[in-house]
Structures are given as C-alpha cells and as structure tokens.
Structure 1
Amino acid sequence: MWDSIPGLQDRALGQRQAPNRCATQGSPYFKFLKEAPDPPKAEAKAKALKAKKAVLKGVHSHKKKIHPVAPRQPKYPRKSASRRNKLDHYVIIKFPLTTESAMKKTKDNTLVFIVEVKANKHQIKQAVKKLYDIDVAKINTLIRPDGEKKAYVRLAPDYDGLDVANKIGIIYTESSRL
C-alpha cells in the first residue's frame, strides 16, 4: 500500500526527505539567495524603536480619553436664590441645661447645653461664641439616651463660669438683681 505513493513510506517510517536542491551550493539559484541583502541591524533596531509603544496594563488602560470642555455659561441661573443654611447659630444651640449636675459643672468653668444632633464641635463652638460672646477652650459632646445631643462647653481660662452663667440667665444670683 505504501509503495503506491512515492515518499509516503519514508515519512511513515520517520525518515527525512532530501533537502531542497535550490538551497544547496550546486544550484544556480543559490547565488541569488545568498546575494539578497539582509537589512542592517542598526536599521532594524531603529525601525523597532520607532514602532515601540508602551504596554497597556491594568483595567484603566483602554479607557477613553476625556477632552477638557469649556466651562458652562448658562443663559439664566437654575436656582433663583441660594438655599438657606438650616443649621444656623440659633438652631444649633437649643437651650442651656439647668440640672443639678450641670450647675456643679459651672464651678469648673464648664457650661452645659442641649444642641442640635447634626451639629459638630466646630459649629457648636462658633455658635456659643456668636450668641454669648465668650471664648471656648474645648467642647465635649455626647448623645443622651433620649436622642438629644449634650455639649459640655469648657470656657477659656480668662472667663469665670459662674459669671457667664449668670449673664446668660442659667443661674439667678442675688448680685444680678442689683
């Protein structure tokens, strides 16, 4: 069966075929094959460097470039008036606390206020400074079990807690009646 197809028997037995005759030195074409000029290595290197691109890595490599656009110049304002600040000084401080424990704190130069839950320490400090015209050293806050926020306002050393509490109206002393 293998005899009918030339060369198949050699291939089936793992034998190699004879090399192409034009690639041997005896061939007239060998002269032309050898004389074909190879591109110089410097040229090839320059061409490769020219074609070289940075490797795109990561998930953002194929993201489209966003071109900067000119700032909008609307024909009319979208809001007629800016929104009112709902957390102003009068909303932040609700009322001073006048419990027995709060009165003890006034002797330690600390006033106790019930404040808005959303207000932070900086906002409470500014509100106390504006409403009562006193300097604040520091503020401690806690949220009570009933959901209200309590602020312990420590006054600056040059203020007396009892005098400030008397001026605000937290405590009523005999000297304030005169």
Structure 2
Amino acid sequence: MVPKAKKEVPAPPKAEAKAKALKAEKAALKGVHSHKKEKIRTSPTFRRPKTLRLRRQRNKLDHYAIIKFPLTTESAMKKIEDNNTLVFIVDVKANKHQIRQAKKAYVRLAPDNGALDVANRIGII
C-alpha cells in the first residue's frame, strides 16, 4: 500500500487573525501621508496662484431664439380666419413668461387689426 499524502494544515485561525491585526496596526501608525513628497520651491518669493476667470455664459435663449417661425398648417389658417389669431412655433426650452416677453408666440390681435392683413405682411399666406 502507498502511504497517504499528508494534507497541508492551514495556520490556526487565531494566529492568522492576530498577524492580520498587527499588520493593520502598523499601517495605521505609519499613516497614509507618510510617503508624501515635498514640493521643491525654486524661487524665494511666494506668488499667489492666479484666480480662475471664467468666460461669460451668454443666454442662448434670447428673445430672437424663443419665437422660431409662424405655423402655416390648415388648422393654423382656420385659426387666422375664425379667431383672428396667428400661431407661431416656439423653442422647447422656453416657458410661458419668456414667450410673453418675446411678444407672444400665440398672438391675439385687436378687432380692428385683422390677422389676415398681418399674415400677408409677414408672408404666411
């Protein structure tokens, strides 16, 4: 008969845990910043770092960008004839206040001022 090969016995769990704890303690005592390299200063005078100056962010949704173009569909033409109203397409990002500020995208004209006349003038019809 062939003698059975002995299995390697792992270290007892207590000893392994103790070694791990000692290693962690040494690392904690040493600290994270122990190997930080010091910056070499080449000039004896200290200069404050330049302040970051960002470029101005202009408002891309101005009055000219809100109202895009007049709508010329059949329903829009019916609106002109029946309700004396012109219909405009506006930017998706514009809210109601911005649309009103941009001289209304959905305009109701005065009774004396015909929508057909204005539509002809701006080239819808």
Higher radius of gyration, 1 or 2: 1
TM-score computed with the length of structure 2 as normaliser: 0.50
Higher relative contact order (CA 8 A, sep 6+): 2
